[in-house]
Amino acid sequence: MRDIVTLACVECKNRNYTTTRNKKTKKDKLEFKKYCRFCRKHMSHKETK
């Protein structure tokens, strides 16, 4: 049931991270605050396709 999803930086749109998500319990898109090596600071990362 777990899907692999890609996380992209909100500011620079680079895809930096991958993680897994349970489709049954998490219906909405994931959002984490993680370090972006392109922006060189902690930014919000949202789930992309």
Which pLDDT tens digit goes with each residue over 1-49? 889 999 999 999 999 999 999 989 988 999 999 999 999 999 999 999 8
For the chain, domains (ranges, CATH) are: 2-48 (2.20.28.120)
Say what the pLDDT of residue 49 is.
Answer: 80
Instruction: State pTM to two decimals.
Output: 0.84
How many Å apart are CA 49 and CA 42, to the nearest integer?
Answer: 22
| Secondary structure letter of residue 28 according to DSSP | S
The amino acid at residue 14 is: N
Say what the pLDDT of residue 6 is.
Answer: 97
How many Å apart are CA 44 and CA 33, to the nearest integer?
Answer: 4
